[in-house]
Amino acid sequence: METTLYNQKGTSAGTFKLPKGIFDLPWNADLVHEVVRLMNSNSRTNIAHTKTRGEVRGGGKKPWKQKGTGRARHGSTRSPIWVGGGVAHGPRNTQNYSRKINKKTKTKALFTVLSRKFKDGEILFIDNLTFPAPKAKDAKNVLLSLSKIKGYEKLATKPENVAIFALDKRQDAVTKSFGNFGNISIEEFRNINPVSIMNHKYLVISNPAESLKTLTGKTKED
């Protein structure tokens, strides 16, 4: 498998051979759905919290005597049936939503999503992405240049989640240059996952020869 390699000016810089074991897998909706569901569960922030009848204030005194008033018997205003009382079976911030994901399953899902993105023409390979210094103007020029490539016109127009730039290594100048672009995410390629890829329209892989080395050993295809 070969694909066109571009530079950050949007012009062709040759071709690049892609491993079939990563970019030529059939779509498996059940596998991807399962992994995405588990990953979203693991990243869930547990905030909702209610108090039980043992945690709310007041209610130490019996509201009225047991009999003779004509009203229903009650022992405490902290009961869940009272306004201001505790909540029965409500959400608690001690709930553990983390789920185990097998490494091979997560890797297979990643390869499946990459294959689908590539077949849909939503993965762009560039030879390198570097800036001499953090500068938003340079980042904007890169987006405008890459948007001239057929099929990637939305890089310059889509307002949200347009692309994730996957770098072969950490580059602070690049990260800071795109810092004010709310529709662009910058990650090291080794940190990308099925959820981050699917949350963006495009995936731009910088220096694919080095970036794909992080997947070495995870596929039988060289």
pTM beyond 0.75, yes or no: yes
Distance CA 79, CA 8 (A): 65
CATH class of domain segment(s) 2-44+98-215: alpha beta
How would you write the pLDDT of the chain (222 residues) with one tens digit per residue? 889 999 999 999 899 999 999 999 999 999 999 999 999 999 988 899 999 999 999 888 999 999 999 999 999 999 999 999 999 999 999 988 899 999 999 999 999 999 999 999 999 999 999 999 999 999 999 999 999 999 999 998 889 999 999 999 999 999 999 999 999 999 999 999 999 999 999 999 999 999 998 886 666 544
**Structure confidence at residue 214 (pLDDT):** 86
Neighbours of 210 (CB within 10 A): 13
User: Of 132, 145, 122, which Cα lies nearest the Cα of 201?
Assistant: 122
What residue has token string 């993965």? 123
**Structure confidence at residue 220 (pLDDT):** 54
**Structure confidence at residue 222 (pLDDT):** 40
Distance CA 169, CA 158 (A): 26
**Structure confidence at residue 18 (pLDDT):** 92
- Are the C-beta atoms of 215 and 191 separated by less than 8 Å? no
- Are the C-beta atoms of 183 and 160 separated by less than 8 Å? yes
Sign of CA dihedral 138, 140, 146, 148: negative
By the 10 Å C-beta count (0-12 exposed, 13-18 middle, 19+ buried), 159 is classed as exposed
By the 10 Å C-beta count (0-12 exposed, 13-18 middle, 19+ buried), 175 is classed as middle
Neighbours of 114 (CB within 10 A): 23
- Are the C-beta atoms of 46 and 93 separated by less than 8 Å? yes
**Structure confidence at residue 221 (pLDDT):** 46
Domain ranges across the chain: 2-44+98-215, 47-96
Write the CA distances from 46 to 17, 49, 93, 112, integer angstroms.
Answer: 44, 8, 5, 30
